[in-house]
Amino acid sequence: MPPVSPKRAIHAIERRIALVAGNQHGVITLAQLVEIGLSPRAISHRVAAGRLHRIHRGVYAVGHASLSREGTWIAAVLACGDGAVLSHRSAAMHWGMLRPSDGPTHVTVPTGSGRHKRSGITVHRSSTLLTSQTTIWGRIPVTKPTRTLADLRRTVPTKGYRRALRQAEFLRLPIDTPTDRTRSKQEADFLALCRRHRIPPPEVNRKLGPYTVDFLWRAERLVVEADSWSAHGGRLAYHEDRERDLWLKLRGFEVVRFTHEQITCEPAVVAAALRKLLRVRRAV
């Protein structure tokens, strides 16, 4: 069998580099380059020629240094070693639970592994990270949605966590995280107000006949709607709300509406009104 010409060998290496980088959003590791057949000297030559661009130690962008968000994420994961996965806010953005935003890439590694601190990467070391809690999504190793939400719950404000949870439910991601059933920010804020002021917990988004009510105290036959202008403004919404209120009132339910401004700016007033309403309804 005739020997392979140097030119053909170079073309074969180029194809393998393109294939690996193409499956990794444009990045490749030093170990992968060596496995393909490049020597340290050849790698250094490619860096000097602008054909490889160092992103992290041992991780390079192929062809140009301008990476997509996904390229930045997988570069950070590869830089953190075996077992590393995208996690926390970065994983939530990758799954579509949170909107993309600037900031460091969050990566979780099993305890005892992973590299030292890297620029642009927030490394989380976890003794509870199981392989069953990770997957590959969009060609990036990442924590599964349930683990991602659990990490978020510990590290972001409550509102951010609830926003991510609602979006995960909307996207029908596979999660087994308990949900408070709220569907909007104003509903979440109202439920938080009830907890903060120790109001007996209501049922959330429950069906009554043909309607779904925001909050229901069934024994007291009290319904609360958390209204926003975006959802209830306009002639048709006004008519439908009154039609719903009449249907409920004819069946013995008291319907009370609070605006988002009341819930957020006057929480003590709302809480006092709720206590009185519940007390009065119990006496009926």
In order along its 284 residues, the chain shows pLDDT tens digits of 455 566 777 778 888 999 999 999 999 999 999 998 888 999 999 999 999 999 999 999 998 888 999 999 999 999 998 899 999 999 999 999 999 998 999 999 987 655 566 789 999 988 778 888 999 999 999 999 999 998 898 888 888 888 898 899 888 898 875 566 777 778 888 988 998 999 999 999 899 999 999 999 999 999 999 876 544 445 666 778 889 999 999 999 999 999 989 999 999 999 999 999 999 999 87
Q: What is the DSSP letter of 202?
A: P
Q: Which of 111, 139, 170 is the last residue of a domain?
A: 170
pLDDT of residue 162: 85
DSSP state of 200: P
* Rounded distance between C-alpha atoms, residue 43 and residue 49, angstroms: 10
Token pair for 264 = 């957020």
Residue 69 forms part of a structural domain: no
Structural domain includes residue 241: yes
Residues 219 and 279 in one domain: yes
Is 256 among the domain residues? Answer: yes
Range of the domain at 135: 76-170
CATH of the domain at 191: 3.40.960.10
What is the count of structural domains for the chain?
3
Domain shared by 204 and 243, yes or no: yes
Beta-bridge mates of residue 142: 86, 135
166 and 81 belong to one structural domain: yes
Indicate whether 149 and 120 sit together in one domain.
yes
176 in any annotated domain: no
225 & 273 share domain = yes
Q: What pLDDT does residue 239 have?
A: 77
Q: What is the pTM of this model?
A: 0.60
Whether residue 68 lies inside any domain: the answer is no
> What angle separates helix 145-155 from helix 158-170, to the nearest 10 degrees?
160
Same domain, 191 and 160: no
Determine, yes or no, domain membership for 102.
yes
Is residue 13 a part of any domain in this protein?
yes
190 and 219 in a single domain? The answer is: yes
Q: What is the DSSP letter of 131?
A: G
Q: Which residues on neighbouring strands pair with residue 223, listed in sequence order?
A: 216, 255
